[in-house]
Structure formats: C-alpha cells, structure tokens
Structure 1
C-alpha cells in the first residue's frame, strides 16, 4: 500500500538516525501534537516523501511479522517495536498521522542494522527513577571525538562538557564510554535521546512519586489487665476442676450445700424452726456425719436466733 505524505512534517516528531545490532530489538517513539490524539497513526517503509509502504497501523493491522504499533493519546505518542532485525531491514521509515482531508503528516528516520556493535547503544531503552532522586543513563559510543548530547524529544538538548543546564548534567567517562546523569521530578517523565555524532538512540524515562512510610502503633493491654485476665482464667480452670472432683465417700451428702462461712441472710422464726427440724432429722438418719458440716448447720441456726 502506498500513501501520499505532505512535505510538511510539523506536528510529528521522532529521532533521525538509529543503529541497532542485528538480532536485537528497538522501540521508536513517534510524538505528535494533541490535535492528532484520535487520528489513525501508522509506520511505513520507504525513502520517498511522496510514497511509503505501510507496515502497521493503529487501527489494523497493529502487528505484522516482527513489527507492532501502540498508540498512547494521553501522552501524545505512539511507539513502534521491531524485533529480530537483520541487515535487510535497514532503510528509511516514517512516523505518520493520517489526515482525512489533505496530506498525511509524517517525520522520517533512518534505521541501520549491523552485524557488529553499533556506534551508539544503550543497555536498556526504559529507565526509571524516583521523584527527587537521580538516574544515570548509560549511553555507550565508539567514536570518542564525536559530539555527545542528551536531548528531550520536542525539547532542549544538553551537550557534554557544557556544564549543568537546569537540573541536567552530562558527564563523559571515556574509560567506560558512558554519559549523563539526571536529577528528577515528575515532569521529567517522557522520551529522550542520546546522541553521539549523527547517531541517536531513544530512551524512555519514567519518574514515580516518592513513597512515605507511616508507622501505626497498635495499643496493647496493660500489665494489670493482662494479669487480671490470667488470674480469671486460672480461677475458672481451678473451679471447674474442683467442681468436677468425684466424691470418695460411700455415703451421699446432703443435697442442699451449706457454706462454712456464715451468711448475712436474716431468717424469720418460721425458717429457724424449719432448719432445726431438718438438722434433727438429718442427724438421726446419719446423713450429717462430718464435724465441720454439723458445725456449719449449727452456725446457721445460731445466726437467726
């Protein structure tokens, strides 16, 4: 399929020249103005401004062979991922936005796939940091004399050895061939690129909010309460054991228990007479045989006299 592209590429933005080692993958970001949030986007292959062969689209097909496309209208960017690439995949590609009336908008780049290590590469295209912290982006390069840059797509650039620019600072470590350190805030989330000479490699930076830990202290029972609970449990257990202890007597005891401790209940004369009669009956029948039980009954009788 061939489509017509307008010569006006304003409104779509991407990197310009990327080198990737064969067999590896790469993600290319294509940023666009917010007025195109809900337009169809596509990725196409071809060197001519006027004609381009569509590979994938955000409506259909979203994946073809080794290439897939994803649109993110919230952040006004669509990304194209290409995997298992070979030297035959080298060439010009386009980030394009479909315009119903008029020519489509597009920005092109050149992708080269080499058997050897490319002149500029990163270990990972996705890096993350915490708000208020720092993150190091390691951009490896082969040509020490080339100009090094750290740029935000649709934004400004910082050159190596140019000192600090705002909160950005670049450092070129020739022994490790890496550069750039970034101090972060939430607005730093987005797409950037490292540059060494004419080569660029896109890097996505995600900044997350710093989390705070809140310690909640759960109140515990006081030692007095704990002691009371323990005492109650022990008392309950002891009472249960005592009440369930079988009698060793061959005689049955009086069915109405008498407490050895004098009670404070006031008995009337009728009750006194009843108690005296029960005591005499029980004593004559031999049911009151324990001295301490007999004493307890006598104490009850004396109490109401």
Structure 2
C-alpha cells in the first residue's frame, strides 16, 4: 500500500513538470540514535537551482528542514538536518543525525523552480526509525582456525543494558557482558563501546561453529548467520630435482609384485635359453664347415698339397669348390725325364 501511495503522489507531482528529474531511494530504515544520509540526484538543467529537504507528503504542506540557499531556519531544524550540493556530480545530500522514533515519516527531496506556472521537481522518501537492535551485516564468513567479528547496533535507550550473544535455539550458550561492558573467554569476546555499538568476535573457528546466532540488548534481538569455510590443505613447495649423473644414477625403488617377479624370471630363462641355442648352432656350423673344407682335411692327415701356379690361382679363384679336388691324384716324375714337376689332374 505505501508503494502505491508513493507512485500516485509522484505521478500527480510529475504531470505538471512533464518529467520527474529528481531521484532517490524510496525507503530508509535506521536505528534510533543513528545517522541517516539521503542522496538526491537531479538533471543537469537544475544545476543552479535551489534544493531543499522537507517533511510532508505535498509541497504546500511540507515543513522545511534544510535548503541550499541558506535561508534562516530554526535551531531545531539545524540540529535535525543539513544539506550540501555537489554540482559536479549533480547530487545534493541530506544528513539527519540522532534520529528518534518520532522522526519516522515521509520526506521530500525537491528542486525549487520558482514559477507559478511550473511546479517544483520533487521525489519522496519514507524514513523508518527502529527502536531496538540492528546489525551491520546479517551474514558473516570466517575461515576454519581464524576469527570473525559481528557488529551489533542498539538504540540509545539501551546504552546501559547488558548485551548478550547466543546461539539460536541454545540458551545455555548465551554470553553476557559484565559490569565493565565486556566479556571474553577462549572462543568469544564481546566489547561494548557504549556508543550504540557492541562487537562480538568468534575466535579459533571450527566447522561446527557455523549456524545462526542472535545479538540482544534489553528486550530486543536480531539474528545473524555465521558461515565457516574449510582451511585449505597445506601444499608442499615444488623444488627442482637435479639430474642424476652417470656415475651415481639413482632410480627410485618401486614395489615389487609377484607378477613382476614371475615375469622377470621368465625373461631371464628365455634369454639364457636363446644364448645356449645360438652357441650350439655356432659350434655345429663350425664343425660342419671343417668337415667340408679340404684345408682342414690335409692338416688333420699331416700333409699339405703342392700346387702349381695355375692350380693355385684356380684354387684361389674358387677356394670352396672341393668337388674336383677330392678326385685329384698326385704323381711325382724323375728328373731324368727332363721335365718339370707337374701335377696331373
């Protein structure tokens, strides 16, 4: 319903001006005693116009709280709000300090046109002042083994109240500040600065610490979710390993299985068998070669053949042709025949 009301008001005001040229957030929530800051943006054509901040739902019945032309304002208005205009950024900023619950209501960011024929260019904001508790962040995250801090805000009227921190659903876990406005043990530390803020620090976080907690002051409390992430595993630094030398090469040991042992034995047996087989073939071949080589036959019989030059050359030409030499007859002739020694084949 409030949003529909805002849209209706904006439409009625914007129709005379044809275009709404001031914008801001439509809703603000602030804790009692705190400060609220409202930025109001405008179009470049209104750079040198007067800007103002007032309380009300229409321009005619709007109580002025601050203006950029520094017109005389009451002391109460000065204490309540201030305004500044940044023409470079095209935004004027309103600051309201020490707000009370009575300050809840509708306000107007406006640009004063100053003409009876044109209405002021305005936009509306609703400020809601909360009496009780608030937090800076409703969800915080910490790492396992580390710490995380929650900032809890409270109203001015609870300045002297004891502050409490509890795990949601477990009232036995509550920790309260003492007369010195602080509390501390091995896992939790609470410090109240008495300026409407107290901080809760969870120390030495563990994964089981994740969950929902509550900040409390007086009869008011607000929930906060705490998340805990796992600590990353430690990684060993990677160092370069020098290359092994030929003299002292190191091979890392590997576990030996039964299958690898059997395979190794089989390979050794096959290697030895192959060597023995090759050696046997070599010996047999040599024996066979000696049997068919006439040179070795004559050596074994204790005599060597005498050959003529022609036969020698013939023998050299085909040393392995032993078929004719097996049928050769050696004849020795006397010198009286007046012939040279010769071999007859």
Q: Shorter-chain TM-score: what band? A: 0.3 to 0.5
Q: Which has the larger radius of gyration?
A: 2
Which one has more relative contact order, counting CA pairs under 8 Å at least 6 apart?
1
Provide TM-score, normalisation by structure 1.
Answer: 0.37
Which protein has the bigger helix share?
Answer: 2
Relative to the length of structure 2, the TM-score reads 0.33
